Chains A and B, each alone.
Chain A
Amino acid sequence: MTAAGLNEWEVVIGLEIHAQLATKSKIFSGSATAYGAPPNTQASLVDLAYPGVLPVLNAEAVRMAVKFGLSINAEVARRSVFARKNYFYPDLPKGYQISQYELPVVKQGKLAVMLDDGAVKTIGVTRAHLEEDAGKSLHEGLGTGSGIDLNRAGTPLLEIVSEPDMRSAKEAVAYMKKIHTLVRYLEICDGNMQEGSFRCDANVSVRPRGREKFGTRAEIKNLNSFRFVEKAINHEVSRQIDLLESGGTVVQETRLYDSDKDETRSMRSKEEANDYRYFPDPDLLPVEIDEAFIDAVRATLPELPDDKAARFARDFSLSAYDAGVLSASRELGAYFEAVVAALSASHDAAHAKLAANWVMGELSSALNRDNLDITVSRIVPAQLSGLLARIVDQTISGKIAKEVFEAMWSEGKTADAIIEAKGLRQITDSSAIEGVIDAVIAANPKQLADYRSGKDKLFGFFVGQAMKATGGKANPAQLNELLKRKLGGGQ
Chain B
Amino acid sequence: MLHTLSIGELGRSLDSGQISSVELTRHFLGRIERLNPALNALITLTAELALAAAAAADARRAAGERGPLLGIPLIHKDIFCTDGVRTSCGSRMLDNFVAPYDATVVARLKEAGAVMLGKANMDEFAMGSSNETSYYGPVKNPWDTTKVPGGSSGGSAAATAARLAPFATGTDTGGSIRQPAALTGVTGVKPTYGRVSRYGMIAFASSLDQAGVFAQSAADAAVVLQAMAGFDPRDSTSIDAPVPDYSATLAAPLAGLKIGLLREFFDGLEARNSALIHDALKIYRDLGAQTVEVSLPHLPLSVPTYYVVAPAECSSNLSRFDGVRYGYRCEKPKDLLDLYTRSRGEGFGAEVKRRIMTGTYVLSAGYFDAYYLKAQKVRRLITDDFRAAFGKVDLLIGPTTPTPAFAIGAKINDPVTMYLNDIYTIGANLAGLPGLSLPCGFVDGLPMGLQLIGPHFSEAKLLNAAHRFQESTDWHRRSPPGYEQ
User: Is chain B found bound to chain A in the same assembly?
Assistant: yes
Which residue numbers of A lie inside 8 Å of B, CB to CB?
45, 48-57, 84, 86, 88, 90, 93-96, 148, 275, 277-279, 282-285
Q: Of all chain A residues, which has the CB nearest B326?
A: A50
Pair A51/B316 contact, Cβ less than 8 Å: no
Most-contacted residue by chain B among A51, A52, A56, A96 (CB, 10 A): A51
Q: Is the interface of A mostly helix, strand, loop or mixed?
A: loop
Partner of A54, one of B80, B235, B319, B325: B235
Can you name 27 A-B pairs with beta carbons within 8 Å? A50-B100, A50-B326, A51-B94, A51-B97, A51-B203, A51-B321, A51-B326, A51-B327, A52-B81, A52-B87, A52-B199, A52-B200, A53-B199, A54-B198, A56-B234, A86-B363, A88-B340, A90-B324, A90-B336, A93-B324, A95-B322, A277-B316, A277-B365, A277-B368, A279-B363, A279-B372, A284-B237
Q: Are A84 and B316 in contact (CB under 8 A)?
A: yes
A52-B319 CB under 8 A given contacts A90-B324, A284-B236: no
Contact with A along B85-129 (1 / 0, CB 8 A): 001010000100101110100000000000000000000000000
Nearest CB to that of A146 among chain B residues?
A: B336
For window 229-283 of B, CB contacts with A under 8 Å fall at 233-237
In the complex, chain B residues 316-375 whose Cβ is within 8 Å of any chain A Cβ: 316, 318-322, 324-327, 336, 340, 360, 363-365, 368, 372
Task: Name the residue among B207, B324, B365 with the largest chain A CB count within 10 angstroms.
Answer: B324
Let me know if B57 is at the binding interface, CB within 8 A.
no
Does more than half of chain B's interface fall in helix, strand or loop, or is it mixed?
loop
Question: A54-B234, A96-B316, A277-B364 known; 16 other A-B pairs, CB under 8 Å?
Answer: A49-B320, A49-B325, A50-B101, A51-B326, A52-B103, A52-B200, A52-B201, A54-B199, A54-B235, A55-B236, A88-B340, A93-B320, A95-B318, A283-B206, A283-B236, A285-B237
Point out the residue from B100, B201, B313, B320 that lies within 8 Å of A94, measured CB to CB. B320
- Interface: B312 (CB within 8 A): yes
Q: Which of A52, A148, A277 has the most CB of B within 10 A?
A: A52
**Which of chain B's residues has its CB closest to A276's CB?**
B365
Q: What B residues does A56 contact at CB under 8 A? A: 233-236
Chain A residue contacts of B312, Cβ below 8 A: 279
Q: CA A88 – CA B323 in complex, angstroms?
A: 11
Closest to B102 in A: A52
Query: Of all chain A residues, which has the CB nearest B372?
Result: A279
B202 at the interface (CB under 8 A from A): yes
By a CB distance below 8 angstroms, the chain B residues around A90 are 322, 324, 336
Among B206, B207, B236, B368, the most chain A Cβ lie within 10 Å of the Cβ of B236
B199 touches A45 (CB 8 A): no
- Give A30's nearest chain B residue, CB to CB: B234
Closest 5 CB pairs of A and B: A95-B319, A277-B363, A282-B207, A282-B206, A52-B200
Bound-state Cα–Cα, A277 to B101, Å: 31
Specify which of B198, B324, B327 is in contact with A148 (CB 8 Å cutoff): B324
Neighbouring B residues of A88 by C-beta, 8 Å: 319, 322, 340
A52, A275, A279, A284: the one within 8 Å of B316 (CB): A279
In the complex formed, the residue of B with least CB distance to A46 is B234
Task: Report Cα–Cα, A17/B200, bound state, in Å.
Answer: 35
A268 to chain B, nearest CB (A): 15
A265 to chain B, nearest CB (A): 21
Chain B residues closer than 8 Å to A94, beta-carbon distance: 319-320
Closest to B93 in A: A51
A277–B315 Cα distance when bound, in Å, is 10
Contact A48 B203 (CB under 8 A): no
Cβ contacts under 8 Å, A50 to chain B:
81, 99-101, 325-326
Structural contact, B322 and A275, CB atoms closer than 8 A: no
**Which chain B residue lies CB-closest to A56?**
B236
**Chain B residue with the shortest CB-CB distance to A87:** B319
Q: Which residues on B sit within 8 Å (CB–CB) of A51? A: 81, 87, 89, 94, 97, 99, 202-203, 320-321, 326-327
A229 CA to B71 CA in the complex, in Å? 66
Taken together as a complex, chains A and B put the C-alpha atoms of A52 and B340 apart, in Å, by 21
A54 touches B320 (CB 8 A): no
C-alpha gap A278/B97 in the complex (Å): 29
Residues of A within 8 A of B235 (CB): 54, 56
Chain A residues with Cβ under 8 A from B326's Cβ?
50-51
Residues in chain B near residue A53, CB distance under 8 A: 199-200
- Output the least CB separation between A189 and chain B (Å): 25
Q: How far is the CB of B366 from chain A (nearest CB, A)?
A: 9
List of A residues within 8 angstroms of B315 by Cβ = 86, 277
Evaluate contact between A52 and B100: CB separation under 8 angstroms. Answer: no
- CB atoms of A86 and B236 under 8 A apart: no
Residues of chain B within 8 A of A86, CB atoms compared: 315-316, 319, 363
Asked if B100 and A45 sit within 8 Å, CB to CB, the answer is yes
Q: Which A residues touch B316, using CB under 8 A?
A: 84, 86, 95-96, 277, 279
A282 B313 Cβ-Cβ under 8 A? yes
With a CB–CB cut-off of 8 A, which chain B residues contact A45? 100-101
Q: Are A48 and B325 in contact (CB under 8 A)?
A: yes
Chain B positions within 8 Å of A283 at CB level: 203, 206, 236-237
Write out the residue numbers on chain A whose beta carbons fall within 8 Å of the beta carbon of B322.
88, 90, 95
Which residue of the partner chain A has the closest CB to B363? A277
**A57: chain B residues within 8 A (beta carbon):** 236
Q: Are B203 and A96 in contact (CB under 8 A)?
A: no
Q: Which chain A residues lie closer than 8 Å to B100 at the CB level? A: 45, 50
Distance in angstroms between the alpha carbons of A193 and B386 in the assembled complex: 54
B320 and A95 form a contact (CB under 8 A):
yes
Q: What separation, in Å, do the CA atoms of A56 and B103 have in the docked complex?
A: 15
State whether A52 touches B325 (Cβ < 8 A).
no
Q: How far is the CA of A94 from the CA of B317 in the complex (A)?
A: 8
CA distance A96 to B365 in the complex (A): 16
Collect the chain B residues with CB atoms within 8 Å of residue A84's CB.
316
Q: How far is the CB of A42 from chain B (nearest CB, A)?
A: 16
- The reply to whether A275 and B87 contact each other, CB–CB distance below 8 Å, is no
Are A52 and B203 CB-contacts (below 8 A) given A86-B363, A277-B363? yes
Distance in Å: Cβ of A147 to nearest Cβ of chain B: 11
Give the CA-CA distance A93 to B321 in the complex, in Å: 9
CB nearest to A90 among chain B residues: B324
Interface centre among A48, A50, A278 (most CB of B within 10 A): A50
Nearest Cβ on chain A to B375's Cβ, whole angstroms: 11
Closest B residue to A275 by CB, please name it: B365
List chain A residues, Cβ under 8 A from B313: 282
* Chain A residues with CB below 8 A from B324, complex form: 90, 93, 148
- Residue in chain B with minimal CB distance to A86: B316
A103 CB → nearest B CB, Å: 14
**B206→A52 contact, CB < 8 A:** no
Contact A93 B234 (CB under 8 A): no
A350 CB to nearest B CB, Å: 59
Q: Give the residue of B202, B363, B368 whose beta carbon is less than 8 angstroms from that of A52.
A: B202
Distance of A291 Cα from B392 Cα, bound (Å): 37
The complex places the Cα of A96 from the Cα of B315 at a distance, in Å, of 11
Within 8 A of A (CB), among B197-238: 198-203, 205-207, 233-237
Distance in angstroms between the alpha carbons of A48 and B321 in the assembled complex = 11
Residues in A with CB closer than 8 Å to B234 are 54, 56
Contacts of A54 in B (CB 8 A): 198-199, 234-236
Closest to B319 in A: A95
Q: Which residue of chain B lies nearest to A57 when distances are taken between CB atoms in the complex?
A: B236
* Contact of A93 with B325 in the complex, beta carbons under 8 Å: yes
Q: Once the chains are docked, how many angstroms separate the CA of A49 from the CA of B320?
A: 7
Residues of B contacting A282 with CB < 8 Å? 205-207, 237, 313
Residues on A with beta carbons closer than 8 Å to the beta carbon of B97: 51
Please indicate which of the listed interface residues A57, A88, A94, A96 has the most CB atoms of chain B within 10 Å of its own CB: A88
Residue of B nearest to A89 (CB): B336
Complex: how many Å from CA A96 to CA B313? Answer: 12
B89 proximity list for chain A (CB < 8 A): 51
CA distance A94 to B315 in the complex (A): 12
- Kindly report which residue of chain A lies nearest to residue B208, judged by CB atoms: A282
- Tell me the smallest distance from the CB of B365 to a CB of chain A, in Å: 5
Q: How far is the CA of A278 from the CA of B369 in the complex (A)?
A: 12
State A384–B72 Cα separation when bound (angstroms): 76
Q: Mark B116-147, 1 if CB is under 8 A from A, else 0.
A: 00000000000000000000000000000000
Chain A min CB distance to B204 (Å): 11
